[in-house]
Amino acid sequence: MIELKDLRYDYRNGPTLSFADLSASAGCTLLVRGASGAGKSTLLALMAGLLTPTAGQVFVDGIDVGALAPRQRDAWRGAHLGFVPQRLHLSEALSVRDNLGLPYVCAGEPVQPARIAEVLERLGLQGLAARRPHQLSVGQAQRVALARAVLRGPSLLLADEPTASLDDEAAAEALRLLIELAALSRATLVLATHDARVSQALPDAQLLQLNRAPACSA
């Protein structure tokens, strides 16, 4: 499902990040560990096609993501990728319900209110559908970002530091939901984190440890 080959990314006036070769099977859970600045977010951005490798390749389901043209990458992300970023990027101008309509709009597809309502109910957010992001707790906002990521049934679900700003109870719930929703979509789940609680909660996950700490944060 995911294969890294001779992967490297050079930041202009910054660090050079090299990643170990990796093969992860479809439907697995991959845990990317490392200190802040070790390249976890960079690796997820390479997997998502948001960055282009300086050298090497990222294959997802046999597709060389970095070799896709920009429009092809956009189409690929819309069809196959769910992403829970470290900064949730919820639009303050829109309600929770309308924030969940954005993935359809960006993909050039009609919004599907029934599917949005289904996901909101599954995540216990149905009573918050009309609220704006500033009216949500940190844990509620995290759930909305997760709902947005799984809305279209991705085959690859990426989560960047999904527990970093959560207390123990909310972190445990966020992980439970990530695992449950990935299983429902039969998605490969990749979590990037430096939070030891995630490793403790996922002892059977495949591990990719990033040990290098570059001079500049990635």
pLDDT tens sequence across 162-196 = 888 788 888 888 888 889 889 888 899 999 998 89
> How far apart are the C-alpha atoms of 36 and 40, rounded to whole Å?
8
Q: Which pTM value belongs to this model?
A: 0.89
* Count of the separate structural domains present in the chain: 1
Strand partners, 160: 192
pLDDT above 70 covers a percentage of the chain that reads 97
> How far apart are the C-alpha atoms of 213 and 218, rounded to whole Å?
9
| Residue 124 located in a structural domain | yes
What is the domain extent for residue 74? Answer: 2-209
Residue 212's pLDDT is 61
Question: Are 36 and 212 in contact, with CB atoms under 8 Å apart?
Answer: no
Question: Are 55 and 44 in contact, with CB atoms under 8 Å apart?
Answer: no
| Residue 184 located in a structural domain | yes
| Residue 216 located in a structural domain | no
Q: pLDDT for 59-82, tens place per residue?
A: 999 999 999 999 999 889 988 999
Rounded-to-10 torsion of CA 198, 199, 203, 204: 80
What DSSP state is assigned to residue 87? S
| Residue 142 located in a structural domain | yes
CATH number at residue 84: 3.40.50.300
| Residue 217 located in a structural domain | no
| Residue 72 located in a structural domain | yes
Entry field: residues in the chain: 218
Q: pLDDT for 25-59, tens place per residue?
A: 999 999 999 888 889 999 999 999 999 999 999 99
| Residue 120 located in a structural domain | yes
| Residue 92 located in a structural domain | yes
